[in-house]
Amino acid sequence: MVMRKLQLELPLNQTQKVRFERAMERLQLLSSTTNNSVIVADSIHEDAFLLKGYGTSEVDGELLATVCGVVTNVDKLVYIRTLRARYKPEVKDIVVGRVIEVSQSCWRVELNSTKDGILKLSSMDNDVQRRKTDVDELSMRNIIVEDDVVCAEVGCIHRDGGLELRATSYKYGKLDKGQLLMVDPYLVKRSNIHFHYIESLGIDLIIGRNGFIWVGEHVQAQDRRILDDEMIKHTSLETRQSILRIGNAIRVLSNLGFTMTLEVIIETVILSNMENIDVHDMLGSEFHVLVAENEVERRIRRA
Amino acid sequence: MEIDREDGRTPNQLRPLACSRNILHRPHGSASWSQGDTKVLAAVYGPKAGTKKNENAEKACFEVIWKPKSGQIGKVEKEYEMILKRTIQSICVLTVNPNTTTSVIIQVVHDDGSLLPCAINAACAALVDAGIPMKHLAVAICCCLAENGYLVLDPNKLEEKKMTAFAYLVFPNTTLSVLPEGSSVAEGEPVEHGIITSVTHGVMSVDDYFLCVENGRAATASLSAFFRKNFQQSSSKAG
């Protein structure tokens, strides 16, 4: 029997299957009492919603769905969140992306959204505030090249959908010495902190709202701008293993469809350490079942 | 007097259906739909800014590219593209994203009869996966007429060759539909009795055609149920 949820198929033996099913059932009971999924032309309960948002349409006084998805409401706004949503950018969101092109005075960044993000040279803040000249444009390649991973915040969204990014603080910029992970955007909820520094392991964790997560060795904030080649130190073996362990924990959580927050990720890593599971075994069926069960207990504890 | 079908199906029985969505990474929406051995992959990119030259800029525009399994693109493929484009235009809400183009690419993986209905179903599933707003879902079916006047649904390639005439029919999914003026009663008949698209080949009498339509509509109930179950399963696990 294979797990229904997973995109990759994991073979489960009989006991694992039973445990997994039970964990999923309990999660279902704990999470939502009503199944809010709709398909096209289903009617949505009115319930005094004043604002009709995306995916809804009013016909004959009745509210119908125009897309398939889950009905979500925020106060007086009701809208339908589609299942496999591409990231919908909002201003001031923190995103992580990969550079795909170096153009004239800007970099084009891939963000898992309908449009690529544009990071302008003028919105990269150097230590010295000055106008960028032609020399700066020609030396753009010294700062960021194709296939580099950058972290930025969404600056403004033009009316035709064009997306501008800003890297105006020392927190943003090129990311080095780590791993980029891609998960579904709806698993990352908006929160106050997206930059996490795990002190015990010396690792930076940046959870981008577009579903790209960066796990890397901790770099002092000012160092991001320094282009000193001699300062490249080798990452220690334990740090690398911690990076991989956290990366695999994130992969398991995204396979199971659980929301990404720092506590869940740390708990999963601690769980894997406690059970003495090897880093590559973390992607196996046993660990998936363990994480599912752990999530059930976590939600019970929280509730 | 029943017809004996080679694979042992009854005349009104459809082949086993399989649908999976979100199979391709790059497109905004993708789906694969198979009825028996006929399998079609659909991918949707969009909406992208701008429309083509001759298209109305106040509405969303759809572009269909049909890729056959092998061989060059010819008139048959162009005809399929046009039929699919008109069908998609009538099921999608065109006023939500004006002045945009949405591309639908159909790749034929295997053709074992009833190819166009399979492609329409795959395109509909891919549009759902991409989150394009629609008025209702479309379910497509192929009905054909044998020499002795009997009706057969969802033929495979061998059966299609032996038939005198066949019709591809596309019906709306549900009774309620998201129409702009709320016209659930159009010209005296409710919308669920309407047909979105009908393509016929061969010679058949008018009565036979109406019989095809009735049988097809009855069979689409099971297709609609399949659609609904498929979408609700994936949305309940995500929600």
**Per-residue pLDDT tens over the stretch A42-77:** 777 766 667 787 778 877 777 788 888 888 777 788
Q: What is the mean pLDDT of chain B?
A: 83
* HSE-CB of B26 using CA atoms within 13 angstroms: 3
CA A293 to chain centre: 23
Tokens 């391709």 belong to B24
Structure token digits, residue A300: 């019970």
Per residue in B15-51, pLDDT (tens digit) is 889 998 888 878 888 999 998 899 999 999 978 877 8
B95 Cβ under 8 Å from any chain A Cβ: no
Distances in Å between the Cα of B49 and the Cα atoms of A152, B53, B55 are 25, 13, 13
Closest Cβ–Cβ partner in B28, B182, B236 for A59: B182
Measure the N-to-C terminal CA separation of chain A; round to a whole number of Å. 32
B234 Cβ under 8 Å from any chain A Cβ: yes
Select the more confidently predicted residue: B105 or A3: B105
Q: Which of A182-186, B14-18, B87-91 has the lowest mean pLDDT?
A: A182-186
In our burial notation (b when 16+ CB lie closer than 10 A, e otherwise), range A176-193 reads ebbbbbbbbbbbbeeeee
Per residue in A69-94, pLDDT (tens digit) is 888 777 788 888 777 667 888 888 89
| Residue of B210, B143, B135, B144 whose CA lies nearest to B173 | B135
For the segment B47-73, the average pLDDT, to the nearest whole number, is 86
> What is this model's ipTM?
0.71
Interface touch A69/B28, C-beta < 8 Å: no
Closest Cβ–Cβ partner in B49, B178, B237 for A257: B237
What are the sequence ranges of the domains in chain B? 17-174+194-236
A34 Cβ under 8 Å from any chain B Cβ: no
DSSP 8-state secondary structure symbol assigned to residue A28? H
Tokens 């000055």 belong to A130
- Does residue B175 register a pLDDT over 80? no
Q: What is the mean pLDDT of chain A?
A: 79
Decide yes or no: CATH 3.20.20.80 for domain B17-174+194-236: no
Tokens 């069926």 belong to A285
Interface touch B231/A68, C-beta < 8 Å: yes
Closest Cβ–Cβ partner in A5, A68, A86 for B235: A68
Q: What distance in Å separates residue A245's CA from the closest CA in chain B? A: 25
Tokens 């879902």 belong to B137
Tell which of A8, A40, A82 to mutate to test the B interface (max B CBs under 10 Å).
Answer: A40
CA A12 to chain centre: 28
Closest Cβ–Cβ partner in A59, A82, A85 for B178: A59
Interface touch B235/A69, C-beta < 8 Å: yes
Q: What distance in Å separates residue B63's CA from the closest CA in chain A? A: 17
Select the more confidently predicted residue: B2 or A219: A219
Query: Considering only CB atoms, which chain A residues are within 8 Å of B93?
Result: 57, 66
The percent of residues above 90 in pLDDT, for chain B, comes to 26
pLDDT at B63: 93
For residue A43, the one-letter residue type is: S
Let me know: does A150 contact A109? Beta carbons within 8 Å. yes
